[in-house]
A = this chain, B = another copy of it.
Amino acid sequence: MLDLANYLPYLLNRSGSRIAASFTQAVREHGITLSAWRVLAALNHADGQRVGQLAEMTSIEVSTLSRLLDQMQARGLIERRRPDDDARTVTAHLTPAGRETTLAIIPIAHHYEKVALEGFSAEEAATLRLMLKRLYDNMGRLEEEETAAPLR
């Protein structure tokens, strides 16, 4: 039997979906989608990441990301560069406009995090963050095993 009400992937998905939905609506008027925000946030954290790294950071599939970058580039939010040391790779960089948009959205981002954590003590919030990181690491180890042992 499966106790759905306590099934972790279910709990994770539904809370993530609700935050995503509210945030998506909130940034809509800025003409930004949730995916685009993830890219902005990732580049704000570390500018000049390669497409593959960025895909990893944002949990966006590389081919989807490649096309999203096309749009963001067309809108002047980011630009692509081809590093000298490895011409296979492409790095993405925030433009001034991209940086400006990011800064405009950060307060909204903080707001939703605050709402999500309403009623949480600082310790509880810290515990939750740590647990989510552990969970992520656990699944990461699994992925490695799975790619190491190809499926047939």
Contacts and interface: CB of A to CB of B under 8 A. Distances in A.
Contacts of A128: 8, 128, 131, 135
Interface in A108-133: 109-110, 112-113, 115-120, 124-125, 127-129, 131-133
Interface residues of A, number: 58
Interface string A59-75: 10000000000000000
Given A5-B45, A59-B13, A138 B118 contact: yes
Given A22-B146, A127-B127, A128-B128, A139 B15 contact: yes
Given A2-B110, A17-B59, A146-B22, A117 B129 contact: no
Interface string A1-31: 1101111111111111111111101000000
A115 B23 CA distance: 30
A81 interface: no
A139 to B, nearest CB: 4
Which of A4, A38, A133, A140 has the most B CB atoms < 10 Å from its CB? Answer: A4
A32 interface: no
A25 to B, nearest CB: 7
A142 B23 CA distance: 11
Interface of A: 1-2, 4-23, 25, 38, 41-42, 44-45, 59, 106, 109-110, 112-113, 115-120, 124-125, 127-129, 131-136, 138-140, 142-143, 146, 151
